[in-house]
């Protein structure tokens, strides 16, 4: 075949290919083709899945109830989720996907600070409003700018609460962190706070199973209080090893919301008893019995920590939608300016996206169950 014919043939096939492939893509509508969506971001599989599923259930219960009770003129809201496995490494791709779905008008999440921080740049660029039910690191507003909000007090509030307990329970404080965004941030705050009584510090990594060298350090420092800033898989092993060492078996153990989960009790067994725990949260079970019953009926399990907060965060979005806002900018404006009544509290955000009402509660474990002790901070 002559060169001319050949090149025409090639050009023609490329053009045809373009037409068939590109044309359909162009013809797709610019807006959303279906119902508006709210996306839950968190760890639905993996080590922290229990907390994530608890939040996710709170999230979808709110939407379920809204869809049932809404009027005909109010839009239906679809439930969607992205599973980051509570780690930052998956967040960028998932966030990008979320942002490019034009039907998504809001994100409830992330669950942990690390995965939230990794996704925020995308949400910020896209102007997608975010309300996190449980990410507590203080730097998140600077990463997320105008779109980031949370319904829980951050670690600048939780840290001092933990220090308060530590100073109350002992005179020689040892602080351990797990080097995650959350853990390290929290530990830094606490270390500054207890400076005078700080007798030692150490760091471990996620996945640590052998704490014997940390225990040795605690023993050497003659600490009577150990504060652990991290999550429950490591905390449960740490407490066991502390209690099994004759020298450290009576040290008080203080930890934060990353540990406050039934999994902690499951993993640490009887050693979990008498742990001092804090969280910027309430338990749904105590706050609203009727809703808890509905939750149990729908999902077959008990609500966990942050289920309530996830429900409230979702409620905020739904109120915005009820008020007639169905696109991102107007929903964002609503969130930035209005206040909404949730379960057990009224929510409003300040300029940085932090909740205007900040509180920290103290919990403990009694006889294998999480028990509310008192409110530590309320402002």
Q: Minimum distance from CB of 37 to another protein (Å)?
A: 14
**Residue of 106, 114, 138, 258 that binds another protein (CB under 8 A):** 114
Tell me: does residue 222 bind another protein (CB under 8 A). Answer: no
Closest C-alpha among 372, 369, 370 to residue 359: 372
Shortest reach from residue 88's CB to another protein, in Å: 5
Stretch in the footprint of another protein (CB under 8 A) among 66-74, 121-129, 281-289, 355-363: 121-129
Distance of alpha carbon 224 from alpha carbon 219, whole angstroms: 9
Q: Of all helices (H) and strands (E), which one includes residue 174?
A: strand 173-177
Given candidates 105, 131, 214, 272, which one binds another protein under the rule CB under 8 A? 214
**Does 25 help bind another protein (rule: CB under 8 A)?**
yes
Closer residue to another protein in complex, CB, 169/188: 188
Q: Which is nearer to another protein, 85 or 154 (by Cβ)? A: 85
Interface residue with another protein among 269, 324, 329, 344 (CB under 8 A) is: 269
Q: Are 162 and 143 in contact (CB under 8 A)?
A: no
Closest approach of Cβ 164 to another protein, in Å?
Answer: 26
Q: Which of 292, 314, 280, 291 is nearest to 107 (CA)?
A: 314
Report whether 107 contacts 129 (CB < 8 A). Answer: yes
Where do we find the tokens 């930890």? 255
Pairing of strands 173-177, 198-203: parallel
Task: Please pick, from the candidates 118, 131, 147, 223, the single residue that binds another protein as defined by CB under 8 A.
Answer: 118
Q: What's the rounded Cα separation, in Å, for the pair 61 and 259?
A: 25
Closest approach of another protein to the CB of residue 288, in Å: 30
The Cα 122–Cα 145 span in angstroms is 11
User: Cα(239)–Cα(233) distance, rounded to whole angstroms?
Assistant: 11
For the record, the structure tokens of 365 come out as: 């474990």
Q: Which of residues 43-102 bind another protein (CB under 8 A)?
A: 45-47, 49, 85, 87-89, 92-94, 96-97, 99-100
189 belongs to the binding site for another protein (CB under 8 A)? no
34 scored as a contact of another protein (CB under 8 A)? no
Beta bridge partners of 94: none
Binding part of the chain for another protein, among 116-124, 146-154, 326-334, 336-344 by CB under 8 A, reads 116-124
- Supply 247's token pair: 């020298």
For another protein, the closer CB: 11 or 293: 11
Terminal C-alpha separation, the chain: 83
- Phi-psi domain of 133 (left: phi exceeds 0; alpha: psi -120 through 50; beta: other): alpha
**Which residues in this chain contact another protein in the complex, by CB under 8 A?**
3, 6-7, 10, 14, 18, 21-22, 24-25, 45-47, 49, 85, 87-89, 92-94, 96-97, 99-100, 114, 117-118, 121-122, 125-126, 143, 178-181, 184-185, 202-214, 216-217, 219-220, 233, 236-237, 240, 244-246, 266-267, 269-270
């Amino acid at each position: 075949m002559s060169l001319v014919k050949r090149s025409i043939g090639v050009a023609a096939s490329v053009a045809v290919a373009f037409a068939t492939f590109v044309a359909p893509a162009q013809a797709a509508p610019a807006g959303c083709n279906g119902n508006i969506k709210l996306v839950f971001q968190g760890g639905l599989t993996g080590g922290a899945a229990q907390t994530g599923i608890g939040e996710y259930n709170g999230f979808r219960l709110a939407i379920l109830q809204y869809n049932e009770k809404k009027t005909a003129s109010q839009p239906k809201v679809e439930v969607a989720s992205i599973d980051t496995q509570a780690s930052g490494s998956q967040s960028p791709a998932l966030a990008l996907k979320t942002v490019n779905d034009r039907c998504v008008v809001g994100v409830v999440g992330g669950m942990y600070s690390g995965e939230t921080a990794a996704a925020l740049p995308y949400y910020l660029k896209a102007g997608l409003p975010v309300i996190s039910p449980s990410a507590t690191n203080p730097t998140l507003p600077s990463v997320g700018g105008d779109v980031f909000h949370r319904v829980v007090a951050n670690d600048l509030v939780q840290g001092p609460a933990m220090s308060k307990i530590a100073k109350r329970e002992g005179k020689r404080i040892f602080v351990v962190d797990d080097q995650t965004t959350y853990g390290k941030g929290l530990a830094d705050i606490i270390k500054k706070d207890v400076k005078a009584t700080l007798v030692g510090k150490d760091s471990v990594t996620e996945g640590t199973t052998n704490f014997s060298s940390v225990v040795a350090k605690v023993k050497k420092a003659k600490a009577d209080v150990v504060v652990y800033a991290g999550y429950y898989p490591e905390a449960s092993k740490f407490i066991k090893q502390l209690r099994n060492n004759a020298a450290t078996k009576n040290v008080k153990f203080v930890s934060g919301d990353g540990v406050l989960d039934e999994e902690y009790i499951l993993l640490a067994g009887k050693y979990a008893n008498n742990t001092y725990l804090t969280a910027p949260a309430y338990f749904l079970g105590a706050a609203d019995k009727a809703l808890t019953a509905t939750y149990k009926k729908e999902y077959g399990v008990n609500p966990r920590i942050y289920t309530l907060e996830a429900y409230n965060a979702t409620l905020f979005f739904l109120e915005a939608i009820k008020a007639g806002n169905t696109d991102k900018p107007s929903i964002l404006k609503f969130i930035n300016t209005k206040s909404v009544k949730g379960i057990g509290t009224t929510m409003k955000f300040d300029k940085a996206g932090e909740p205007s009402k900040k509180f920290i509660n103290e919990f403990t474990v009694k006889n294998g169950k999480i028990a509310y002790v008192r409110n530590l901070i309320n402002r």
